[in-house]
Amino acid sequence: MLNRNIPISLYIQLADGIKRKIEQGFYEVNSKIPSEKDLI
C-alpha cells in the first residue's frame, strides 16, 4: 500500500512493492504485472 505521509517517493514505494511480490513468487514467470492504475 502506498503511503503519501512518508518521505519516500510514491514511485519508489510502488517499485519496492512490485519487487517484493516478484521475490515472494506472487507473480509467476512470464506473467504480466498489473498496470500502475490497477496497483494503486
> What pLDDT sits at residue 39?
74
* Cβ-based neighbours of 40, under 8 Å, separated by 6 or more: 2, 14
Q: How many structural domains comprise the chain?
A: 1
Structural domain range at position 31? 10-39
C-alpha cell at position 25: 513468487
**Spatial contact of 13 and 3, defined as CB atoms under 8 Å apart:** yes
What digits encode the pLDDT tens for the residues 1-40? 789 999 999 999 989 998 999 999 998 888 888 887 887 6
Per-residue model confidence (pLDDT) at position 2:
86
pTM: 0.72
- 3 occurs within a structural domain: no
Q: What pLDDT does residue 28 have? A: 86
Is 18 part of any domain? yes
- pLDDT of amino acid 4: 94
In a domain, 2, yes or no: no
Judge whether 20 lies within some domain: yes
34 domain-assigned: yes
Per-residue confidence (pLDDT) for residue 35, from 0 to 100: 87
